[in-house]
Structure 1
Amino acid sequence: MSRPPTFTPPSCAQSRRLRTTRGDFAVLDAVPHGEVRGTALLLPGYTGSKEDFIALLEPLCAAGYRTVAVDGRGQYETEGTPRQETYAQSELARDVLAQAAAVGNGDTVHLVGHSLGGQIARAAVLLDASPFRSLTLMSSGPAQVAEAQQLKVKMLGDALATLSMAEAWEAMRALDPPEDATTDGEALRRRWLRTQPAQLIATGRQLATEPDRVAELAAAGLPLHVLSGERDDTWPVPLLDEMAQRLGARRTRIEGAEHSPNTDRPERTAAALISFWDSL
C-alpha cells in the first residue's frame, strides 16, 4: 500500500470535483500563480489515491505546470459501484480520456500513471493518443506484476470476497512490519474504507493478468518516459530498463526510491518529470 507522508495538500492545490462526460471525479488541482507551461494528469496505483502525489504538487506548480491528481472510479473520494464490470480496464481508460478532456480545455496534457495507474494510462493512450502530450509510466511494467505480487493480490481478492473492508484492514495491519506502525494510520484507514472492494478485486485481477502491450504503445507515436526507483519488487528494475529500450523512451531511475518514488523521493521525482516535459 502506498503511504503518502501527509493527506494535507499544499496551499497551491485545491480539493474539488472534476466534472466530466463520465461523471465527477475527486481531484487535487494545483495551479501555478504565474504562466502555465502545461497541464499534467496524475493517476494513482492499486490501493492508492490522489494523495500519493501531494509531495509533487508544489515543485511541479513552481515549474509552471498545472497538476491534477485524480481518484479513479471507486478510489477513495470518487464514487464507484459494487459491480466489478464497471472497473474493466477499458472503462477506466475511457474515464481517463474524459478527465483529460476536462482538464485540458482543448490542449494536450502530460499523462502520468503510477503502477496500476500506468497500465490504465497506457490503455487510454491506446484507445486515443490525441489528448496527450506525453506519457510517463512510473513504476509500471510491460505486463503482469511479479509472481509474488500476483499471489498477494489474489489473497486480497479472496479475502474481500468474504470480509468487510474494516475486517480486511485489521487483518492487513496485523501483518505490517513494525516500522509501518507509526505511519498516519487513521488517514490510511479512512482511505481504505472509502475504496470500493469491487474496484480492488477487478483491478487486482488486471494486475495479475495484464498482457504485454509494449509494441502497441511504441507505435502510438507519443513521447514516453519510464521512471522508477532503483529497487522494485512489483516489476523488477531490469525489466523496466528493457521496456524503456523497447519503447524508445527516456529512462529515469530515482536513487534511494523503491516502488513509489513519488513518496520516497518526491523532489527528485518532480525534477525528473519537469526535465522530461521541458525537453518537449
Structure 2
Amino acid sequence: MRRVDVATPLGTIAALAASPAAGGCELHSAVLVPGFTGSKEDFIQILQTLAQAGRRVYAIDLPGQYESPGGDDPDSYSCASLGRVVTDFIDAVDQGPVHLLGHSFGGLVTRETVLAGEIPLLSHTLMSSGPSGVKGPSRTDAEQLMAVLGGSPTRERMNQIWWAHFEEPQKASGLPEEIHVFLRERMLANHPLGLFRMAGEVTSAPDRTDELAAVDLPKLVLYGEDDATWPPEVQAAMAKRLDAHRVVIPGAAHSPAVEAPETTASALTKFWNAAETF
C-alpha cells in the first residue's frame, strides 16, 4: 500500500493505492470514495485484502478532505462537482473501466459520477448510503456543525470547535491515543468551507434513485445491520428500487469497512468478480 498524489483539472487528489503482494493485476481496478468528515484511511483495513484478489484498489480523499487540498469556491463542494472530481481521478489513473464504491456521503457523490456517464464503469456500490440526504440525529448533527461554523467558516473556528466539543468526548471513548490523534489531525485538516458545504449537501441531497436505477450497471447496496445514519429499512427499500444486489453485514453499523473488514472485503470481491462476467 502506498500514498499517491494524482493531478486532476480540479486539483490534486491524495490517494492510497494497493496492489497484489505477488503477481500482477489480472482483474479490473476499484476506486473507493469516503464519507463526510472521512478520508481514504477509512478503507485501510480492506484495501490490501481487496487487492489480493488480483486488482489495483484506490481509496481517495475528496477535495477539502484531509490531504486533498480544497479551493475557496463554494460550488466546488456540491455533490455534482465532487462527482466530476471522481471522474477526473479515474481518468487520470487510466485503469480502464473500474468498480466504483461510495461510502455514506461518498455514495451521494459517486451516484453523480455514474449519472454523468462520462467514464467507463463496471459496477457501482453504495456502502451505508441512502437515497437522499440524511434524516434524524445525523441530520441534526450536520446542521449543528454548520451552525457553529457560521457563514464564513475558518480554520481558527474549526480549531475552537474541536477543543470545545470533540476533544474530551474522543478521549473518553477509549480509542487508542494514536487513533485519537489521527482523528483530531484529520478533522482539523479539512477545508473549513468544504466541511460547511458538504454538511449542507449531506442534509439536502435530493432522491435520485429512479435516475440511478435507469443506468444499466451492476449495483450493490451494502450496509451494517445496525446502521443508524440511513436506517437499514431505508437502504433495503433503496436496493429494491435500484434492482441492486443487497448485502447486510452482521455486527456492523455505519462503517462496515472498519467494523467488519473481512466480511466486507469478501462481499465486495464476490460482487466485483461476478460483475466482470456480466
TM-score normalised by length of structure 2: 0.92
* Corresponding residue for residue 4 of structure 1: none
Alignment of 1:43-122 (within 5 A): 43-105=33-95, 107-122=96-111
How much has 1:174 moved relative to structure 2? 3.5
Which deviates the most, 123-132 or 189-198? 123-132
* Corresponding residue for residue 190 of structure 2: 195
1:12-44 C-alpha deviation (Å, 9 max, x unpaired): x11110122332210101122323111000000
Q: What is the RMSD of the two structures over their aligned residues, measured on CA atoms?
A: 1.6
- Alignment pair present for 1:28 and 2:16: yes
* Corresponding residue for residue 206 of structure 2: 211
Tell me, in whole angstroms, the C-alpha distance in 2 between the residues paired with 1:201 and 1:189: 17
Cα–Cα, structure 1 residues 179 and 23, in superposed 2: closer, same or farther, change >3 Å? closer
Cα–Cα, structure 1 residues 132 and 180, in superposed 2: closer, same or farther, change >3 Å? farther
Please tell me whether the aligned partners of residues 129 and 222 of structure 1 are also in contact (alpha carbons under 8 angstroms).
no
Which among 262, 265, 269 is matched to residue 264 of structure 2?
269
* Corresponding residue for residue 15 of structure 1: 3
Structure 2: which 5+ runs fail to align? none
How much has 1:176 moved relative to structure 2? 4.6
Which among 131, 135, 144 is matched to residue 142 of structure 1?
131
Alignment of 1:151-170 (within 5 A): 151-161=140-150, 164-170=157-163
Which deviates the most, 192-201 or 180-189? 180-189
Please tell me whether the aligned partners of residues 35 and 103 of structure 2 are also in contact (alpha carbons under 8 angstroms).
yes
Tell me, in whole angstroms, the C-alpha distance in 2 between the residues paired with 1:177 and 1:255: 27
Tell me, in whole angstroms, the C-alpha distance in 2 between the residues paired with 1:231 and 1:87: 29
* Corresponding residue for residue 7 of structure 1: none
* Corresponding residue for residue 223 of structure 1: 218
Q: What code does the residue aligned with 1:179 have?
A: S
How much has 1:175 moved relative to structure 2? 4.2
TM-score normalised by length of structure 1: 0.91
Q: What code does the residue aligned with 1:248 have?
A: D
Which deviates the most, 173-182 or 158-167? 173-182
Q: What code does the residue aligned with 1:213 have?
A: R
Please tell me whether the aligned partners of residues 39 and 104 of structure 1 are also in contact (alpha carbons under 8 angstroms).
no
1:247-267 C-alpha deviation (Å, 9 max, x unpaired): 110100111100000111111
**SS of structure 2 residue aligned to 1:164:** helix
**SS of structure 1 residue aligned to 2:29:** strand
Cα–Cα, structure 1 residues 46 and 142, in superposed 2: closer, same or farther, change >3 Å? same
Please tell me whether the aligned partners of residues 53 and 69 of structure 1 are also in contact (alpha carbons under 8 angstroms).
yes
Q: Displaced runs of 4+ in structure 1, greater than 4 A?
A: none
Tell me, in whole angstroms, the C-alpha distance in 2 between the residues paired with 1:196 and 1:154: 17
Structure 1: which 5+ runs fail to align? 1-12
Please tell me whether the aligned partners of residues 71 and 78 of structure 1 are also in contact (alpha carbons under 8 angstroms).
yes
Tell me, in whole angstroms, the C-alpha distance in 2 between the residues paired with 1:196 and 1:148: 24
Q: What code does the residue aligned with 1:172 have?
A: F
Of all paired residues, the percent bearing the same amino acid is 39
Please tell me whether the aligned partners of residues 91 and 119 of structure 2 are also in contact (alpha carbons under 8 angstroms).
no
1:182-241 C-alpha deviation (Å, 9 max, x unpaired): 451111111111111111111111111111111000001111000000011110101111
Q: What code does the residue aligned with 1:267 have?
A: E
